[in-house]
Structure 1
Amino acid sequence: MYNPFFSSMMLAIEAQRVIELRLVRLAWGGSEGLAEAQSMVTEKMHAAGEAMTTLMLGGSPETVIARYREHVAFNTKRLTAA
Protein backbone atom coordinates (compact mmCIF):
# COMPACT_ATOMS: atom_id res chain seq x y z
CA MET A 1 0.00 0.00 0.00
CA TYR A 2 1.25 3.48 -0.90
CA ASN A 3 1.82 5.84 2.00
CA PRO A 4 1.88 9.50 0.82
CA PHE A 5 3.02 10.70 4.25
CA PHE A 6 6.14 8.54 4.05
CA SER A 7 7.00 9.77 0.55
CA SER A 8 6.49 13.39 1.60
CA MET A 9 8.71 12.94 4.65
CA MET A 10 11.40 11.26 2.58
CA LEU A 11 11.30 14.14 0.09
CA ALA A 12 11.75 16.63 2.93
CA ILE A 13 14.68 14.69 4.38
CA GLU A 14 16.37 14.18 1.01
CA ALA A 15 15.89 17.84 0.07
CA GLN A 16 17.75 18.92 3.21
CA ARG A 17 20.91 17.31 1.85
CA VAL A 18 20.60 19.23 -1.44
CA ILE A 19 20.02 22.46 0.49
CA GLU A 20 23.18 21.81 2.51
CA LEU A 21 25.26 21.07 -0.58
CA ARG A 22 23.93 24.12 -2.42
CA LEU A 23 24.57 26.43 0.52
CA VAL A 24 28.18 25.29 0.64
CA ARG A 25 28.57 25.91 -3.08
CA LEU A 26 26.94 29.34 -2.79
CA ALA A 27 29.11 30.22 0.20
CA TRP A 28 32.27 29.46 -1.77
CA GLY A 29 31.05 31.96 -4.34
CA GLY A 30 32.89 32.56 -7.57
CA SER A 31 31.70 31.30 -10.91
CA GLU A 32 30.55 27.97 -9.45
CA GLY A 33 28.42 29.74 -6.86
CA LEU A 34 26.87 31.99 -9.46
CA ALA A 35 26.18 29.06 -11.78
CA GLU A 36 24.56 27.14 -8.90
CA ALA A 37 22.33 30.09 -8.00
CA GLN A 38 21.15 30.40 -11.60
CA SER A 39 20.71 26.64 -11.93
CA MET A 40 18.73 26.49 -8.69
CA VAL A 41 16.19 29.08 -9.85
CA THR A 42 15.86 27.53 -13.31
CA GLU A 43 15.42 24.01 -11.91
CA LYS A 44 12.74 25.15 -9.48
CA MET A 45 10.78 26.87 -12.24
CA HIS A 46 10.94 23.79 -14.46
CA ALA A 47 9.99 21.45 -11.61
CA ALA A 48 7.00 23.60 -10.66
CA GLY A 49 5.85 23.73 -14.28
CA GLU A 50 6.24 19.99 -14.59
CA ALA A 51 4.23 19.42 -11.40
CA MET A 52 1.48 21.77 -12.56
CA THR A 53 1.29 20.05 -15.94
CA THR A 54 1.15 16.62 -14.33
CA LEU A 55 -1.73 17.63 -12.09
CA MET A 56 -3.61 19.42 -14.88
CA LEU A 57 -3.40 16.29 -17.02
CA GLY A 58 -4.90 14.17 -14.27
CA GLY A 59 -1.74 12.95 -12.57
CA SER A 60 -1.77 12.23 -8.88
CA PRO A 61 0.06 14.10 -6.12
CA GLU A 62 1.98 10.87 -5.52
CA THR A 63 3.33 11.09 -9.07
CA VAL A 64 4.45 14.66 -8.45
CA ILE A 65 6.20 13.72 -5.22
CA ALA A 66 7.95 10.79 -6.89
CA ARG A 67 9.17 13.05 -9.69
CA TYR A 68 10.43 15.68 -7.23
CA ARG A 69 12.34 12.93 -5.44
CA GLU A 70 13.99 12.03 -8.76
CA HIS A 71 15.06 15.66 -9.20
CA VAL A 72 16.43 15.74 -5.66
CA ALA A 73 18.36 12.50 -6.17
CA PHE A 74 19.88 13.85 -9.39
CA ASN A 75 20.95 17.07 -7.65
CA THR A 76 22.44 15.15 -4.74
CA LYS A 77 24.47 13.04 -7.12
CA ARG A 78 25.55 16.08 -9.16
CA LEU A 79 26.55 18.15 -6.15
CA THR A 80 28.50 15.37 -4.44
CA ALA A 81 30.41 14.43 -7.62
CA ALA A 82 32.41 17.68 -7.74
Structure 2
Amino acid sequence: MKDVLAETVDGFPWLDGAMLAFESCEVIRLRLAKLARGDDGAEHEASLMVSEKVDAMLEAGASLMAGASAAAIIGRYREHVAANAKRLSV
Protein backbone atom coordinates (compact mmCIF):
# COMPACT_ATOMS: atom_id res chain seq x y z
CA MET A 1 0.00 0.00 0.00
CA LYS A 2 1.24 3.44 -0.90
CA ASP A 3 1.94 5.89 1.97
CA VAL A 4 0.47 9.14 0.67
CA LEU A 5 1.81 11.22 3.57
CA ALA A 6 5.40 10.10 2.96
CA GLU A 7 5.30 10.95 -0.74
CA THR A 8 7.37 13.74 -2.12
CA VAL A 9 6.63 16.10 -4.95
CA ASP A 10 9.66 17.16 -6.95
CA GLY A 11 11.86 15.51 -4.31
CA PHE A 12 10.65 17.64 -1.40
CA PRO A 13 9.23 15.93 1.70
CA TRP A 14 6.21 18.16 2.33
CA LEU A 15 4.97 16.50 5.51
CA ASP A 16 8.40 16.53 7.15
CA GLY A 17 8.84 20.16 6.11
CA ALA A 18 5.49 21.11 7.66
CA MET A 19 6.33 19.19 10.84
CA LEU A 20 9.66 21.01 11.06
CA ALA A 21 7.81 24.33 10.87
CA PHE A 22 5.38 23.37 13.66
CA GLU A 23 8.10 21.91 15.88
CA SER A 24 10.25 25.01 15.37
CA CYS A 25 7.39 27.22 16.59
CA GLU A 26 7.40 25.38 19.92
CA VAL A 27 11.17 25.88 20.30
CA ILE A 28 10.74 29.58 19.50
CA ARG A 29 8.05 29.82 22.20
CA LEU A 30 10.27 28.07 24.76
CA ARG A 31 13.24 30.28 23.88
CA LEU A 32 11.22 33.49 24.10
CA ALA A 33 9.99 32.47 27.54
CA LYS A 34 13.57 31.85 28.64
CA LEU A 35 14.83 35.11 27.13
CA ALA A 36 11.98 37.06 28.77
CA ARG A 37 13.28 36.07 32.20
CA GLY A 38 16.41 38.11 31.52
CA ASP A 39 18.64 36.13 33.87
CA ASP A 40 22.07 34.59 33.22
CA GLY A 41 20.40 31.67 31.49
CA ALA A 42 18.82 34.08 29.01
CA GLU A 43 22.18 35.48 27.96
CA HIS A 44 23.59 31.98 27.55
CA GLU A 45 20.52 30.92 25.54
CA ALA A 46 20.87 33.88 23.16
CA SER A 47 24.51 33.03 22.53
CA LEU A 48 23.73 29.34 22.12
CA MET A 49 20.89 30.11 19.72
CA VAL A 50 23.15 32.07 17.38
CA SER A 51 25.95 29.51 17.41
CA GLU A 52 23.48 26.66 16.80
CA LYS A 53 22.01 28.47 13.79
CA VAL A 54 25.45 28.98 12.25
CA ASP A 55 26.46 25.37 12.94
CA ALA A 56 23.22 24.04 11.44
CA MET A 57 23.64 26.20 8.34
CA LEU A 58 27.19 24.97 7.80
CA GLU A 59 26.14 21.37 8.36
CA ALA A 60 23.26 21.68 5.88
CA GLY A 61 25.51 23.32 3.29
CA ALA A 62 28.12 20.60 3.63
CA SER A 63 25.41 17.94 3.36
CA LEU A 64 24.03 19.53 0.20
CA MET A 65 27.47 19.67 -1.35
CA ALA A 66 27.95 15.99 -0.48
CA GLY A 67 24.71 15.15 -2.29
CA ALA A 68 22.26 14.76 0.59
CA SER A 69 18.58 14.86 -0.23
CA ALA A 70 16.14 17.47 1.03
CA ALA A 71 14.55 14.76 3.18
CA ALA A 72 17.88 13.99 4.86
CA ILE A 73 18.58 17.65 5.57
CA ILE A 74 15.09 18.30 6.93
CA GLY A 75 15.36 15.15 9.03
CA ARG A 76 18.61 16.39 10.52
CA TYR A 77 17.10 19.82 11.27
CA ARG A 78 14.20 18.05 13.00
CA GLU A 79 16.71 16.21 15.19
CA HIS A 80 18.27 19.54 16.22
CA VAL A 81 14.85 21.05 16.92
CA ALA A 82 13.79 18.03 19.00
CA ALA A 83 16.99 18.25 21.05
CA ASN A 84 16.39 21.94 21.68
CA ALA A 85 12.76 21.34 22.68
CA LYS A 86 13.87 18.66 25.13
CA ARG A 87 16.62 20.87 26.60
CA LEU A 88 14.38 23.92 26.94
CA SER A 89 11.46 21.98 28.44
CA VAL A 90 13.44 20.90 31.48
Give the TM-score band, short-chain normalised. Answer: over 0.9
Matches within 5 A, 1:46-61: 46-61=55-70
Q: Which amino acid aligns with 1:7?
A: D
Higher share of residues assigned helix: 1
What residue is the counterpart of 2:89 in the other structure? Answer: 80
**Runs of 4+ more than 2 Å apart:** none
TM-score, normalised relative to structure 1: 0.95
Q: In the alignment, which residue of structure 1 is the partner of 2:10?
A: none
> 1 CA distance for matches of 2:39 and 2:81?
24
Sequence identity (%): 47
Structure 1's unaligned 5+ residue stretches are: none
- CA drift at 1:30: 1.5
Query: How much has 1:77 moved relative to structure 2?
Result: 0.3
The structure with the largest alpha-carbon Rg is: 2
Cα deviation 1:45-73 (Å, max 9, x = unaligned): 00000000000001111110000000000
What is the 5 A alignment of 1:1-82?
A: 2-3=6-7, 4-81=13-90
Q: Counterpart of 1:71 in 2: which secondary structure?
A: helix
Structure 2: state its 5+ residue gaps: 8-12
Give 1:78 deviation, angstroms.
0.2
Read off the aligned partner of 1:11 and give its amino acid letter. Answer: L
**Cα offset for 1:43?**
0.3
CA RMSD of aligned residues (A): 0.8
SS of 2:21's partner is helix
